[in-house]
Chains A and B, each alone.
Chain A
Amino acid sequence: MSAAPPLPRWADLFLLPVLNLLAAFFVCGLIVLAIGENPITALGVMLKGAFIFPGSLGYTLYYTTNFIFTGLAVAVAFHAMMFNIGGEGQAYVGGLGAGLVSLWLAQSMPSLIVLPLAVFGAALFGAAWGIVPGYLQAKRGSHIVITTIMFNFIAASLMVWLLAGPLIEPGQMSPQTPKFAAAGQLPSMQSMLGAVGIESANSPLNLSFLIALAALFGFWVLIWRTRLGYQIRTVGQNPEAARYAGINVPRVVIITLAISGALAGLMATNEILGVQHRVVLNFTAGYGFTGIAVALMGRNHPIGIFLASLLFGALYQGGAELDFEFQSITREMVLLIQGMIILFSGALAYMFNPPVARLLARLAARREAANV
């Protein structure tokens, strides 16, 4: 009885997310109204702040890049029906991988060699941080949710120790590595567009946005066009059928977690290689966790994940603008609004499923009755 009736595909993919979003905006509107501001004006400021103001689009897409990586990381694990809560830690350790390569090679090698290696390092370290919980799940039955959460804490402690100890910039007090040499920095979008003669405003957007777009496409190919993706989905949807088919389930679980960790690790290319140009404390800033909401809202599909990432990117950037424009809307208020969106599109993602299904069934029945 508890299972909701099935929805047509279009309703599940488009109608539900839109309804969730509208519900979230409605509740946020009430909150804005309650503190004495006009919600319509606030929405306008947010939109302008996210897309219109000079450089704002760059900021929005910069946030979007982070969400694409962490959203894909959660989604790939989810296709194997595993809940990877460890994106935060995997991204953090991925930053270490990217940072070590850049620190080590950027002085002596050209960027054409350093950057691919640094990107690979981010993926590799992230993958390693995913493989361990994957192995424990596949071979020892330790639940992936528990182990990935614990691995976030281990990653955090490890990074504090490294950044305050062996990797700290000599002569400095703040826990961060020295700045990478120029060869270890991803080119900014402004400079890349400038090179082909397009003027753009200054923003943190950089080459990693293109890596993110490539990852979206690669994800689609992996999941729906490769034999590995087929095995991942089979394991996720029916592990017994996978066993029947001769698929090595533990192996697929471990590989999936490795891919998931690698995608999360790639987030560091944006933050570390693209913006900070050094490994800093807590650069992951919760993006790994928000990736769960992105994947949920994006229905684990690259197009959905891109749209959800764009939405969250716009919320981050537009939210900052709100904070700036209105006296009464504080930073905390903006976080509350973002939380509402996550609540409605993540945790309550299927809240509108039963009523929508009932409505559609009634409409179908009426249409049938009219035809008879």
Chain B
Amino acid sequence: MAGAAGEQHGSVEPPPAIELRGVSKAFGLVQANKNIDLVVQPGTIHGIIGENGAGKSTLMNILYGLHRADSGEMYINGALAPIHSSADAIACGIGMVHQHFMLVPNFSVLENVMLGSEGGMLLAEGREETLGTLKKFADEYGMTVDAEVLVGDLPVGLQQRVEIIKALKGGAKILILDEPTGVLTPQEAVSLFKILGTLKQDGVTILLITHKLEEIMATTDTVSIMRQGEMVGHRATAETNPEELAELMVGRKVLLQVDRGTSDPGEVNLSVSGLGCVSPHGSSLISDISFDVRVGEIVGVAGIAGNGQSELMEALAGMRPPSTGTINILGQTITADGQSDPQIMRAAGLAHIPEDRHKFGLVLGFEARENAILGYHYSRRSGDGRLIDGAAVTAHCRELMSAHDVRPANPQLTARNFSGGNQQKLVIARELDANPQVLIVGQPTRGVDIGAIEFIHKELIALRDQGAAILLISVELEEVLGLADRIMVMNNRQQVGIITRAEADEQTLGLMMAGITPDKGT
């Protein structure tokens, strides 16, 4: 059990900070949590790891009172705690930092932290108190933030800091962090973990939810592994290793390294020069981007989310008209004055695996076979005649599903009912089926379980070796380093530079992602 470390102290040991017994939760017919037991000792960092859909977030939402368990009991510091709302959770001394921040962007840091403890009719009292809180956190934990800055203007790492202060300001001694490093640069992540270490020394119990094995290994004391709604193991971090954790998560051994092979770049298939986009309001979304992608080559685009990568992808896919510069796909040029449209790009030989499959890549309420013709609904895939040929669409989708290992291989199943990995495989299957000469792919493995990641990476390498030019945009550095032959780094909506894979390591990329051009001299 997770309590192994504490049990050696004998009878004087304090009760566990959190104890869950037999917690179950179902959403309709889906059993999200099955009979979960969990013990977390006070003043430790406890990791919870599992694939997407394993039930980690549901469990944390139950603990924080956002969901109500169907059965089971929760004990906080040894006492039975009936948590039915987040107010109950806060009263029990639990704070939570959500994956997507719950901040008001056009409020200042002070106003955001003050939210919920404004004091009386006038704000003066609340302001004083909140300023005190901010000072306390700055002094004791080194969590310095400027009180008067608008939260929307802060970098993500500092926004998260504000969230943590909000969660802890009422004296919470239990802190839940849901995928805290997903949006951070490596440097920001390091400083987050330093803060977590200080908090732990101060007696705060930290629950860290993540799918990143290396974070678990580097920061936690104990770790629990979830799979398909069940707790499948509790380990002391010192006594386990990433391979064992990965195996527990997916239930079988997986390959963490990508066998990239060697690339043999040929002629230029995709050429971008001086590309810029402006928003309808006139602000610059990306500017002055120039690069080539050759046949048989993967060019990775690294950068912190929100530095123009999405806009670059949309421009290349024809979803956002360029305002300056040119895009050249297999000799066909798209300029700022010309027409830009996803159908034109597809006709030119480009396929696009979008970075957000729920937002762009799929219509979740459609059947799989209907999604398999999205964007190709005018092509022969959907039938030769004026009407859509249902039988042909179904047969085609069945072929795609067996070729790309989409499970369950049921063309009539609604897209929503596939797991994240299989949804992504369906999108990839649809786009690769066009036999693209140029592929742009965004976050191919976001929210995808380890088994599917491996499969998707192999498919991309195989496509490269067949002679496609691939542009890969990902916020996962590991993925870019694992797949790309050359890497372009973006910062502040511009390109910082392009380096070869051999020149790249996490340190260099981290600096470039922060906008610092590498010193070529050394």
Contacts and interface: CB of A to CB of B under 8 A. Distances in A.
A237 B317 CA distance: 21
Given A1-B66, A5-B28, A246-B375, A237 B387 contact: no
Given A234-B363, A240-B360, A241-B363, A225 B378 contact: no
A233 B373 CA distance: 13
Contact of A244 (B26, B342, B373): B342
A237 B363 contact: yes
A229 to B, nearest CB: 8
Contacts of B387: 221, 225-226
5 contacts: A230-B370, A233-B363, A237-B364, A238-B365, A361-B29
Contacts of A237: 363-366
A244 B363 contact: no
Contacts of A225: 387-388, 390
A364 interface: yes
Q: How large is the interface on A (under 10, 10 to 19, 20 to 34, 35 or more residues)?
A: 20 to 34
B366 A364 contact: no
Interface in A278-317: none
A1 B67 contact: yes
Interface in B360-419: 360-366, 370, 373-375, 377-378, 382, 386-388, 390
B28 A243 contact: no
A357 B28 contact: yes
Contact of B26 (A230, A231, A234, A365): A365
A165 to B, nearest CB: 45
A218 interface: no
Interface string A217-251: 00001000111001101100110110111100000
B279 interface: no
A360 interface: yes
A243 B342 contact: yes
Interface of A: 1, 5-7, 221, 225-227, 230-231, 233-234, 237-238, 240-241, 243-246, 357, 360-361, 364-365
B29 A245 contact: no
B359 interface: yes
A360 B26 CA distance: 12
A222 B373 CA distance: 17
Contacts of A5: 27-29
Contacts of A234: 363, 366, 374
B360 A241 contact: yes
A156 B382 CA distance: 44
Nearest to B67: A1
A360 B30 CA distance: 12
B354 interface: yes
B319 interface: yes
Nearest to A226: B387
A245 B364 contact: no
Contact of B354 (A221, A231, A244): A244
B343 interface: yes
A365 B318 CA distance: 48
Contacts of B318: 246
A244 B366 contact: no
A361 B26 CA distance: 8
B235 interface: no
A77 B373 CA distance: 23
B346 interface: yes
Interface string B142-177: 000000000000000000000000000000000000
A85 B319 CA distance: 32
Interface string B334-351: 000000011111100000
Contact of A226 (B352, B360, B366, B388): B388
Interface string B109-126: 000000000000000000
Contacts of B388: 225-227, 230
B386 A226 contact: yes
Contact of A240 (B359, B365, B377): B359
A227 B343 contact: no
A243 B29 CA distance: 33
Given A1-B66, A5-B27, A360-B29, A244 B377 contact: no
Contacts of B27: 5
Given A225-B390, A233-B366, A238-B364, A246 B29 contact: no
Contacts of B382: 227, 230
B181 to A, nearest CB: 27
Rank and list the top 3 A-B pairs by shortest CB-CB distance, nearest first. A5-B28, A246-B342, A246-B343
Contacts of A361: 26, 28-29
A231 B361 CA distance: 15
A238 B378 CA distance: 18
A255 B200 CA distance: 61
Nearest to A5: B28
A221 to B, nearest CB: 7
A5 B30 CA distance: 9
